[in-house]
Amino acid sequence: MVMYDVIIIGGGAAGLTAAIYSARYKLKTLVIAKEMGGVIVNTHKIENWPGEKSISGLDLMNKFAL
Residue 66 pLDDT more than 80?
no
On average, the pLDDT of the chain sits at 92
Residue 25 pLDDT more than 80?
yes
Q: How far is 44 from 59, CA to CA, in rounded Å?
A: 10
CA angle 26, 12, 49 (to 5 degrees): 105
Mean pLDDT score, 13-31: 95
Q: Is 0.85 surpassed by the pTM of this model? A: no
